[in-house]
């Protein structure tokens, strides 16, 4: 794990090979990791999507693939700390370094300070990468900086570059998060009732540390299409919270037949619990006895829609999966293919379509019994899985997301018939994306009531869920539940 300090015995090994005598190119694992980092920085790529493609192109497997994965994700997670180290070692701000060279140095720092790689090996390979990426002059700089980085242990570097006060700046370096994220998460811990002024600093440190520990791979067996036992037989372990979950500590999920066929999928247990809770809320039966109609208002890329579709088929309901982006709509359609086939065979209506979720309430008023608003958000609850998000997101993003989140929730309420329920969910604990959105929408309406989301989550969970907050909304936490930081609010449309 990238957070673990490396133990050293005796003096540090320095690079003993002159730059001109070293390899002309970096090895394939390091070159592959560097290409992924450049795609993330220059093209806005997502590491969790880009890395598997890069591994396949490079034909890396086994230990080489594991090394490349840790090097990529560990470098992204600890970038803030490594930038402070590099700036000190290079005696210049990292903003003055070429982007490709900076990524080489970040990777080198992670190998020396976060992985069990000998200093001379990390330096030699970093120099070779720099030479191929930016020329001999860059190679000389990288050689000098790597030599200085290797002169201190991780603990010594932490002491050297971490400010003692204030708290946010200290944790920003030691736990490698932007200062604004540190402050926002501290407010969220208190705002959701998981910490008080007496213990919030300790809880914050635990949360930030959890973001730097790689998440286990969670799988979902979509009910009626796959069984959990099928995943367990393939080598997975039972999930902690969701009755349809399994967990993999290693290996390729795509090697499991059910996953390849789309009957099961990779999905965080927190996301599973949200879909299960929405499906379990009691609703007023339709007067005409017609089947329930469900709506996933923002369905892309299709994870929650896949589970909702399976649950709808089990409960004899129809489902519409709506997504504004044409490209993401096609991803949803691919994800739901087994459910679409099963729905057609059973004579049920399962539809995947493109459309602006903000307009559904006006176009289809009082139509649906259950509506999920999995709103676009900053993703601050998924930093274990998407470490680049902490560096890519900015406070100004909240300005644009806030009105969209409120409009989508309002549209969902309009689209829900009296007696039906709405689930508002985000993969972020930020107060501006969670409780503030629900509060602002609900206070302007007299036709909705908030119900206790914690009770529903506990009802569907297989274990005893605690630390969900003061209610009535529920907030999951990586450091308490081992899930992504999912938020859930449940509203009932009044009759």
For the question of residue 427 being annotated catalytic, the response is yes
- Residue 455: exposed, middle, or buried by beta-carbon count in 10 A (0-12, 13-18, 19+)? middle
- Closest by CA to 102, choosing from 24, 34, 200, is 34
* Residues contacting 236, CB < 8 A, separation 6+: 219, 246, 247, 248, 256
Active-site residue, selected from the candidate residues 427, 442, 451, 461? 427
**Which are the catalytic amino acids?**
427
């Amino acid at each position: 794990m990238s957070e673990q300090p490396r133990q050293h015995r005796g003096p540090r090994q320095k690079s003993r090979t002159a730059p001109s005598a070293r390899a002309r190119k970096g090895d394939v694992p390091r070159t592959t990791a560097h290409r992924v980092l450049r795609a993330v920085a220059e093209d806005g790529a997502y590491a969790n999507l880009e890395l598997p493609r890069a591994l396949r192109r490079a034909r890396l497997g086994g230990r080489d693939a594991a090394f490349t994965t840790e090097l990529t994700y560990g470098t992204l997670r600890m970038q803030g700390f490594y930038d402070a180290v590099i700036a000190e070692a290079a005696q210049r701000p990292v903003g003055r370094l070429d982007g490709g060279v900076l990524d080489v140095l970040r990777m080198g720092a992670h190998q020396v300070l976060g992985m069990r790689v000998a200093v001379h090996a990390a330096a030699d390979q970093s120099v070779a990468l720099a030479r191929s990426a930016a020329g001999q002059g860059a190679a000389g700089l990288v050689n000098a900086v790597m030599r200085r980085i290797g002169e201190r242990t991780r603990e010594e570097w932490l002491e050297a570059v971490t400010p003692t006060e204030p708290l946010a700046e200290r944790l920003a370096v030691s736990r490698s998060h932007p200062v604004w994220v540190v402050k926002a998460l501290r407010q969220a811990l208190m705002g959701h009732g998981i910490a008080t002024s007496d213990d919030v600093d300790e809880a914050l440190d635990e949360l930030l540390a959890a973001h730097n520990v790689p998440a286990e791979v969670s799988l979902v067996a979509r009910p009626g299409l796959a069984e959990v036992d099928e995943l367990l037989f393939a080598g997975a372990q039972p999930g902690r919270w969701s009755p349809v979950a399994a967990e993999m500590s290693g290996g390729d999920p795509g090697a499991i037949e059910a996953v390849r066929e789309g009957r099961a999928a990779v999905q965080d247990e927190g996301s599973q619990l949200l879909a299960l809770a929405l499906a379990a809320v009691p609703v007023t039966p339709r007067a005409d006895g017609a089947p329930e109609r469900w709506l996933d208002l923002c369905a892309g890329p299709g994870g929650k829609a896949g589970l909702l579709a399976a649950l709808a088929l089990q409960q004899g309901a129809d489902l519409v999966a709506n997504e504004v982006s044409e490209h993401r709509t096609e991803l949803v359609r691919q994800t739901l293919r087994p459910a679409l086939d099963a729905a057609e065979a059973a004579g049920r209506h399962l539809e995947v379509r493109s459309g602006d979720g903000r307009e559904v309430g006006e176009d289809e008023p009082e139509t649906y019994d259950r509506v999920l608003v999995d709103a676009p958000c900053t993703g601050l609850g998924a930093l274990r899985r998407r470490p680049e998000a902490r560096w890519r997101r900015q406070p100004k993003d909240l300005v644009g997301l806030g009105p969209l989140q409120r409009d989508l929730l309002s549209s969902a309420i309009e689209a829900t018939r009296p007696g039906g329920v709405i689930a508002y969910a985000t993969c972020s604990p930020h107060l501006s994306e969670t409780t503030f959105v629900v509060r602002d929408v609900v206070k302007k309406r007299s036709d909705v009531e908030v119900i206790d989301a914690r009770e529903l989550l506990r009802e569907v969970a297989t274990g005893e869920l605690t630390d969900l907050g003061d209610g009535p909304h529920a907030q999951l936490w990586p450091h308490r539940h081992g899930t992504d930081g999912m938020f859930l609010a449940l509203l009932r449309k009044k009759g």
